Each structure stands twice: as structure tokens, then as C-alpha cells.
């Protein structure tokens, strides 16, 4: 890794005349990447809810486990993100979407950020131990994958970093399920697969939009190394792989299968349009990125709703 002290000083100097006014709380939320924490809480809750539903256990009767799992997993994710920000502070100033993180602007001492991350991880794992060992181990796998295999290893070396990072992003529903039922069913693993396969097209679309920033930061994202045509084909392959997965969740009912299939076909249709007109590649990438966010939210929320209605 480069001389972080020199790079930190350079980054602070670079932004000294262009730093937004923020509060300590906003800086903290930026450090832990609160958007990621919140979105993962949704998928974790879905795993919890479905495990309760299919095992015949009551929600209120297990409210303590539910709260321990949601809070514990959120703290584990928040801690991992804080450590990611600590480690990536030497390149974050080169990218528009990360240049105002407190570890870049100098509003937060890097070592403070690291210790905050370690503290959040410690408390998070302590809470996870109040659920099941299986859920705690899965949480640990997510942390190791995200911090060591993704952030510290593959992110700066290989285009496959997106796939490796997808493992950590896919474990939240598995954590939720395991906290209720350690005997992970096929359905639990399907939730994991949906999350795992969803991430490459989501992040590759983002990488297309931010190609020049990733190039400046020397991050070997697929569009940087192999161009847009290869990236678009990869995106379509991953999206196509999502199509059969909802049918493994047939116990959620015909309504869910219809909705999930419509969402998958809609994503494929939008994707195919990107091969017809290369002059609008950035617009296409933005549509694919926005659709992926809505896709995940609608899909996982509907899983809960279809067990209620």
C-alpha cells in the first residue's frame, strides 16, 4: 500500500477549499455507509421473517432474537464499512462518490475510524452470539470476505473483485434465517443466491457510470480493463441467471412468482436495449443501476407481503 500519511495529507489539501459543512453525526453515517447498512437490514429481516413463517414460529415470541439479529448484523456491517473507509482513504479522494467521506476530508482521524470499526464489530458479534452460532459464523464469513478478500486483496488487483465482494453482500438473508433456524433450508440458500447474483450487474452498471474515476484510482473494474461491450455481456449473463431462482420459492405463491418473473423479464428487456444504441451507454448503465435497486427492494419486500396477504 502507498504511503498513506503522504496521501492523506494530499487528499486533505486537495479538498481543503471544497468541503461541505457536515455534522459529527452525518460524518459517522458516512463512515459506516448507512445506505448499505439499511438495505442489508431489509434483506436480513426478510430472512428472519421467512424462517419464522416456514418454521411455524411466532414473531412476537421471538422478538428478542429478531432484535439481536437486526442490531447485531447491522453493527457488523457498519463496522466492516468503517474499516473499508479506513483502508481505502488513499484512493477515495479520486472518486466523486467517495471524495467527501470523513476519512478523506480530514474531518475524522483515520485511526479513530479504524477503532470505531473494530468497536462496532465487537459489539455486533456479541449481539449475534445471543442468536445462534450458525448465524454468528456466517456473519464472520461476511466480514472476512469483505475486509480481507475484497477490500485488502482483490479490489485493487482483479476484475473478479465484484464477484468476490458479492459473497459478503449476499449473507444478510442467510444470517437472518440462521438466527431463527440453524438448519438452513433450500429456500435460505436461494435467498443467498438471489443476493449473490444480483450484485454483479448492479455494481458493474455503477462501474460503467464511474469508469474514469475507477481508472484514476487504478481499480481494475471490468469496464476499465475490458471495456463496455464485455461488461454489458457480463451484466446480461448475471441478470439471466436470476430468472429461474424465484421458482424455488414457489411456496410463497403464484402471485410472488408472477411478480418476480415480471421484474426479471423487465430487467432483461432494459438490458437488451443497451446493445442497440452504443451512443447512450451511460444512460443505459444508469437505467440498469436504478432498476437493480428497485428490483431488490420490491422483490424482498414482496416476499414478506405475500406471506401476509
* Reported confidence tier of residue 5, pLDDT bands at 50, 70, 90: very low
Domain boundaries, the chain: 21-184, 185-309
pLDDT of residue 273: 84
Smallest Cα–Cα separation from 292: which of 212, 214, 201?
Answer: 201
Question: CA dist 120 to 13, 96, 275, 277, Å?
Answer: 30, 27, 44, 47
Q: How confident is the model at residue 96 (pLDDT cuts 50, 70, 90)?
A: confident
pLDDT for position 17: 46
pLDDT of residue 16 exceeding 80: no
Q: What's the length of the chain? A: 309
**Tens digits of per-residue pLDDT, 33-70?**
999 999 999 999 999 999 999 999 999 999 999 999 99
Q: How far is CA 9 from CA 5, 106, 184, in A?
A: 6, 8, 48
- Say what the pTM is: 0.90
Is pLDDT above 90 for 13? Answer: no
Q: Which of 15-19, 66-70, 119-123, 228-232 comes out lowest in average pLDDT?
A: 15-19
Contact (CB, 8 A) for 197 and 245: yes
Residue 275 DSSP code: T
Place of cell 488487483: 157
Contacts of residue 279, defined as CB under 8 A and 6 or more positions apart, other chains included, come to none
The CA-CA-CA angle for residues 254, 245, 309, to 5°, reads 30
Please compute Rg for the chain using Cα positions: 20
Examine the pLDDT at 100 and tell me if it is beyond 90: no
Residue 100's φ and ψ, nearest 5 degrees, are -110, 20
CATH of 21-184, one of 2.20.28.120, 1.20.1250.10, 1.10.357.140, 2.60.40.10: 1.10.357.140
- Among the residue ranges 8-17, 58-67, 186-195, 263-272, the one predicted with the least confidence is 8-17
Amino acid at each position: 500500500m502507498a504511503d498513506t500519511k503522504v496521501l492523506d495529507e494530499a487528499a486533505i489539501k486537495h479538498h481543503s477549499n471544497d468541503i461541505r459543512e457536515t455534522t459529527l453525526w452525518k460524518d459517522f453515517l458516512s463512515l459506516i455507509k448507512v445506505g448499505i447498512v439499511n438495505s442489508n437490514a431489509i434483506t436480513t429481516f426478510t430472512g428472519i421473517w421467512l424462517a419464522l413463517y416456514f418454521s411455524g414460529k411466532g414473531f412476537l415470541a421471538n422478538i428478542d432474537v429478531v432484535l439481536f439479529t437486526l442490531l447485531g448484523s447491522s453493527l457488523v456491517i457498519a463496522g466492516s464499512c468503517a474499516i473499508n473507509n479506513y483502508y481505502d482513504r488513499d484512493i477515495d479522494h479520486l472518486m466523486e462518490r467517495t471524495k467527501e467521506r470523513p476519512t478523506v476530508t480530514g474531518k475524522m482521524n483515520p485511526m479513530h475510524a479504524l477503532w470505531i470499526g473494530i468497536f462496532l464489530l465487537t459489539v455486533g458479534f456479541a449481539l449475534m452470539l445471543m442468536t445462534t452460532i450458525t448465524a454468528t459464523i456466517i456473519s464472520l464469513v461476511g466480514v472476512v470476505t469483505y475486509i480481507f478478500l475484497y477490500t485488502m486483496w482483490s479490489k485493487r488487483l482483479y476484475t473478479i473483485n465484484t464477484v468476490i465482494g458479492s459473497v459478503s453482500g449476499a449473507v444478510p438473508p442467510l444470517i437472518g434465517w440462521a438466527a431463527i433456524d440453524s438448519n438452513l433450508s433450500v429456500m435460505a440458500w436461494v435467498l443467498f443466491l438471489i443476493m449473490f447474483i444480483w450484485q454483479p450487474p448492479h455494481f458493474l452498471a455503477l462501474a460503467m457510470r464511474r469508469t474514469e474515476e475507477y481508472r484514476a484510482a487504478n481499480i481494475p473494474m471490468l469496464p476499465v480493463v475490458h471495456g463496455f461491450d464485455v461488461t454489458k455481456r457480463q451484466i446480461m449473463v448475471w441478470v439471466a441467471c436470476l430468472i429461474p431462482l424465484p421458482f424455488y420459492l414457489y411456496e410463497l405463491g403464484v402471485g410472488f412468482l408472477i411478480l418476480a418473473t415480471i421484474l426479471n423479464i423487465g430487467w432483461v428487456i432494459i438490458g437488451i436495449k443497451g446493445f442497440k444504441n452504443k451512443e447512450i451507454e451511460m444512460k443505459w448503465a444508469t437505467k440498469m443501476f436504478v432498476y437493480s435497486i428497485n428490483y431488490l427492494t420490491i422483490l424482498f419486500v414482496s416476499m414478506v407481503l405475500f406471506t401476509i396477504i
